[in-house]
């Protein structure tokens, strides 16, 4: 398999482990947006410490105006898509929110065509359709309940998909000047700074005396965040953003597997079909890459 694809799939697979950390933090009384804040804070802290010790030069911006890339990845992507996703969950259900979130590859295909002149091929459109159907199946959105799709729900759901897509787009611009490690670090620095005013430090301070809270918080910040984004962004540098976005839909497959084997959540035949469809889309993209190598590889 293409090395870039391995990095992208591994990064997306690590995103699928988020649920394990999040469920434990919820048990301690953290709200969804507080968990997003903890994710940004701990990831930023770990990455700053790591780079300060190993490569301080990577913490320097080449030009101050380059901050625009990281406002894009950190605020318009990370914070915006999480806010929209949680609003969708509040207005509807988790399956609906998950299915609408994975409209992201569609946005990436369109934006990549506009900004990077990446071709919109038949195989991309076919795999996009397969991915959307597979994601809906994995999310348990079958049978379809139209009452769940209010206008506001669709608006926030599509907003989460757009925000999710913007990470690949802004990162692609930033990769022309910065490494994947630098991009990930600045992404979470910007996200952390923007989230500071909204985190109730006084109310939650006592919880951080619990060693398990610290372990789950830093675990969330390191494995499915800092490390996952670094290797995903590295893979993104070696392939088309549109293909990377389709490959990243392996995330709900991993999340479902963890839900089944770790949290003993129910698993249906429809979900199995959905997982198979997503894996099929990944295989088709890989075969297409071998047939017509990307110019960016």
pLDDT of 146 > 90? The answer is no
Q: Considering only CA atoms, which of 277, 235, 242, 236 is closest in space to residue 256?
A: 277
What pLDDT is attached to residue 294? 43
Asked if the peptide bond before residue 172 counts as cis, ω within 30 degrees of 0, the response is: no
CA distances (Å), 28 to each of 24, 145, 218, 264, 269, in order? 7, 33, 15, 20, 33
Domain segments of the chain: what residues? 3-291
Return d(Cα 115, Cα 235) in angstroms, integer. Answer: 19
Mean pLDDT across the chain, nearest whole number?
89
CB atoms within 10 A of CB 26: 13
pLDDT in tens, 9-38: 999 999 988 888 988 999 999 998 999 999
Q: Which residue has the higher pLDDT, 7 or 141?
A: 7
Return d(Cα 208, Cα 204) in angstroms, integer. Answer: 7
Structure tokens at 44: 């930023």
Q: Which residue has the tokens 């969804």?
A: 32
pLDDT confidence band for 101 (50 / 70 / 90): confident
What pLDDT is attached to residue 143? 61
pLDDT in tens, 172-218: 999 999 999 999 999 999 999 999 999 999 999 999 999 999 999 99
Structure tokens at 180: 């994947």
What pLDDT is attached to residue 149? 66
Q: What is the mean pLDDT of residues 228-250?
A: 92
pLDDT of 57 > 90? The answer is yes
What pLDDT is attached to residue 91? 84
Burial 86-119 (b: 16+ CB within 10 A, else e): bbbbebbbebbbbbbbbbbbbbbbebbeeeeebe
Do 20 and 257 meet the contact criterion of CB atoms below 8 Å apart? no
Q: What is the mean pLDDT of residues 264-293?
A: 80
What pLDDT is attached to residue 263? 74
Do 32 and 84 meet the contact criterion of CB atoms below 8 Å apart? no
pLDDT confidence band for 1 (50 / 70 / 90): low
Q: Which residue has the tokens 């091929």?
A: 121
Structure tokens at 89: 């969950």
Asked if the peptide bond before residue 84 counts as cis, ω within 30 degrees of 0, the response is: no
């Amino acid at each position: 398999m293409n090395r870039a694809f391995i990095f992208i799939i591994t990064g997306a697979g690590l995103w699928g482990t988020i649920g394990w950390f999040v469920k434990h933090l919820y048990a301690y009384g953290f709200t969804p947006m507080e968990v997003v804040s903890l994710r940004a804070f701990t990831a930023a802290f770990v990455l700053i410490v790591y780079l300060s010790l190993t490569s301080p030069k990577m913490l320097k911006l080449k030009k101050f105006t380059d901050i625009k890339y990281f406002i894009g990845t950190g605020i318009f992507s990370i914070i915006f898509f999480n806010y929209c996703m949680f609003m969708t969950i509040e207005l509807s259900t988790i399956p609906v929110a998950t299915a609408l979130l994975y409209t992201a590859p569609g946005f990436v295909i369109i934006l990549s065509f506009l900004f990077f002149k990446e071709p919109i091929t038949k195989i991309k459109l076919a795999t996009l359709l397969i991915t959307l159907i597979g994601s809906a199946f994995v999310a348990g959105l079958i049978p379809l309940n139209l009452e769940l799709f209010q206008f506001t729900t669709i608006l926030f759901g599509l907003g989460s998909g757009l925000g999710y897509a913007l990470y690949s787009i802004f990162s692609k611009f930033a990769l022309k000047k910065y490494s994947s490690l630098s991009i990930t670090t600045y992404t979470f620095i910007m996200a952390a700074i923007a989230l500071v005013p909204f985190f109730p430090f006084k109310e939650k301070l006592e919880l951080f005396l619990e060693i398990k809270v610290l372990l789950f918080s830093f675990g969330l910040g390191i494995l499915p965040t800092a490390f996952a984004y670094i290797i995903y962004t590295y893979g993104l540098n070696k392939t088309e953003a549109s293909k990377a976005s389709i490959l990243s839909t392996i995330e709900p497959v991993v999340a479902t597997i963890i839900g089944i084997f770790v949290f003993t959540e129910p698993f249906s035949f429809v979900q199995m079909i959905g997982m198979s469809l997503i894996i099929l889309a990944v295989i088709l993209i890989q075969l297409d890459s071998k047939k017509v190598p990307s110019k960016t590889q």
